Amino acid sequence: MTRIYPHIVVAKFGGTSVADFDAMNRSAAIILADHHVRLVVLSASAGVTNLLVELAAGLESRDRQDKIDTLRAIQHNIISRLKQPEAIGQEIDHLLENISRLAETAASAPSAALSDALVSHGELMSSLLFVEVLRERGVETEWFDARKVIRTNDHFGCAEPVISAIAELAEKQLRPRLEQALIITQGFIGSDAAGHTTTLGRGGSDYTASLLGEALQANRVDIWTDVAGIYTTDPRIVPQAQRIDEISFSEASEMATFGAKVLHPATLLPAMRKNIPVFVGSSKDPSAGGTRVCCNAENPPHYRALAVRRKQTLLKLHSVNAQPAHAFLADMFAILSRHHVAMDLVTTSETSIALILNATGATSGEADTLTTSLLTELSSHCRVEVEADLALVTLIGNALSRAAGICQQVFAGMENHPVRMICHGASSHNLCFLLPADSADNAIKTLHRSLFE
Ligand code: ADP
Ligand code: ASP
Ligand code: MG
């Protein structure tokens, strides 16, 4: 009979935390400092997935070789620091050969399925190397192929997990192993029912960690990254941003949805379902502490954070024949739904609909949300206007739709910015502004100064 391990922490390390040999060693030290960490989920080393995505799009022979050389250099920088580099060096070279072969096929016949098979190599390589780093520190570990457990549908590039299958597979395949050794696995990758490799969308390793945390009913999920927690906004944009020590699932989830890259948008859903606290901290400086995301934060403030989502497209649909408004809305939404367009922000008037298409992280490949077939179908029903290169700046908070004086304070901060669209009201947790991409950072800086500093 399998004994349920008393305390399980799932620890995920992002790209910068496994970027090179030193980063891997810092991450190893974090794992060894907490004996509750039983399962480790790894991203590809920083930069690797971007290179693989470019290869998957199909490159000319010479460009292909350049990318593969860069990939090889990243891996061999790590391998050369190992005491026994031979066996693992051969294994990694074998994966690099696979990459080369798949990239050649992608150059003549690219496909979303091929792209997932190709990009999955980033996580496969980093996890194999990490096992070696730990082994050389004398730690017993087992490399585990995440595709055995992360069952998804076959929506390549942004596959959706099948929660019940993952729970069953984790129980059978993972739980018994947790007692034997520390398990090292890959984030981001999964497989469909036919065994094809799939991916969960860019940044999906966070999601893998919480999916596995949910399946194993872990006590905590730790997300180790390059910032010491979740801040009031991206500290790269505003160095004065303040760390949020404790935040509720719903607020952090809202931040992730609206672009706070520190967490993949879906990360908190599994954690919320099983009420598993999530910790976010820096693998570069674990002693700096971090953010605890949990069920309810104490005294949630009106203004919690600012987030920005880039690569937004504004799609405006204007009715051309005097169709009643309700029929026009129904027809347009039916078309958008048939084309799987995810709409999270929409405004409407009597004769027009404006909606925002979000291309960030939509897929692991380079697929475009606004496809030619969608445009053709829409154009046969209405006049279509498209404006690209926009950014969505969102204020995240609590009871925003009820608090008095908010508009005055927030709109004053937006005074000098060319706002293209405003969304407020459906959720009391957000207030969104669509702006030209090059105005977004300034808008964040002004709003942060007036609302948070
Ligand atoms: P990883 O590779 O570890 O998954 P990511 O680059 O995906 O790391 O996420 C970490 C980055 O998220 C930070 O470097 C930071 O620039 C960005 N970020 C965006 N919004 C926030 C926020 N509100 N708080 C902290 N970091 C944020
Ligand atoms: N390596 C993948 C990416 O870069 C997944 C992740 O890092 O979370 O998107
Ligand atoms: Mg990430």
Structure confidence at residue 52 (pLDDT): 98
Do 146 and 186 form a contact (C-beta atoms < 8 A)?
A: yes
Distance of alpha carbon 186 from alpha carbon 208, whole angstroms:
8
Structure confidence at residue 296 (pLDDT): 82
CA of 431 to the centre of ligand 2 (A): 28
Strand partners, 197: 191
Contacts for 112 with CB less than 8 Å, ≥ 6 apart = 156, 157, 363, 365, 367
Residue 157 CB less than 6 A away from ligand 2: no
Per-residue confidence of the chain (453 residues) as pLDDT tens digits?
A: 444 557 999 999 999 999 999 999 999 999 999 999 999 999 999 999 999 999 999 999 999 999 999 999 999 999 999 999 999 999 999 999 999 999 999 999 999 999 999 999 999 999 999 999 999 999 989 999 999 999 999 999 999 999 999 999 999 999 999 989 999 999 999 999 999 999 999 999 999 999 999 999 999 999 999 999 999 999 999 999 999 999 999 999 999 999 999 999 999 999 999 999 999 999 999 999 999 999 887 788 999 999 999 999 999 999 998 788 889 999 999 999 998 887 778 999 889 999 998 876 556 665 567 888 999 999 999 999 999 999 999 999 998 877 677 778 888 878 888 899 999 878 888 999 999 999 999 999 999 999 999
Structure confidence at residue 412 (pLDDT): 83
CA of 133 to the centre of ligand 1 (A): 25
C-alpha torsion 97→100→103→107, nearest 10:
-140
Tokens 């966070």 identify what position?
A: 206
For ligand 1, atom 5, name the residue with the nearest CA: 262
Tokens 């105005």 identify what position?
A: 439
Q: Alpha helix (H) ranges present in 339-427?
A: 372-379, 406-413
Distance of alpha carbon 256 from alpha carbon 202, whole angstroms:
13
Instruction: List, as one string, the DSSP characters of 144-188.
Output: --GGGT-BB-S-TTSPPB-HHHHHHHIIIIIHHHHTTSEEEEESS
Pocket test for ligand 2, best of 17, 18, 43 (most atoms within 8 A of CB): 43
Among 249, 243, 244, smallest CA distance to 296 is for: 249
Among 196, 51, 169, smallest CA distance to 114 is for: 196
Strand runs labelled E in 226-365: 246-248, 278-282, 290-294, 303-319, 346-348, 352-358
CA of 261 to the centre of ligand 1 (A): 5
Cβ neighbours of 119 (radius 10 Å): 28
Structure confidence at residue 86 (pLDDT): 96
Residue 14 CB less than 6 A away from ligand 2: yes
Domains of the chain and CATH, by start: 9-225 (3.40.1160.10), 304-451 (3.30.2130.10)
Ligand 1: which residues within 6 Å by Cβ? 14-17, 43, 203, 225-227, 230-231, 233-236, 260-262, 305
Cβ neighbours of 184 (radius 10 Å): 24
Contacts for 242 with CB less than 8 Å, ≥ 6 apart = 231, 232, 452
Q: How far is CA 239 from CA 202, 232, 302, in A?
A: 25, 10, 22
Among 322, 329, 307, 318, smallest CA distance to 261 is for: 307
Contacts for 306 with CB less than 8 Å, ≥ 6 apart = 232, 233, 393, 394, 395, 396, 444, 447, 448, 451, 452
Residue 203 CB less than 6 A away from ligand 2: yes
Do 308 and 259 form a contact (C-beta atoms < 8 A)?
A: yes
Phi, psi (5° rounding) for residue 4? -75, 125
Strands across the sheet containing 278-282:
141-143, 182-186, 37-42, 9-13, 220-225, 278-282, 290-294, 246-248
For ligand 2, atom 8, name the residue with the nearest CA: 203
Structure confidence at residue 364 (pLDDT): 64
What would the two tokens of residue 347 be? Answer: 């405004």
What would the two tokens of residue 16 be? Answer: 């910068």
Among 293, 299, 305, smallest CA distance to 229 is for: 293
Structure confidence at residue 2 (pLDDT): 44
Phi, psi (5° rounding) for residue 103? -65, -35
Going by the annotation, the residues of the binding site for substrate are: 49, 123
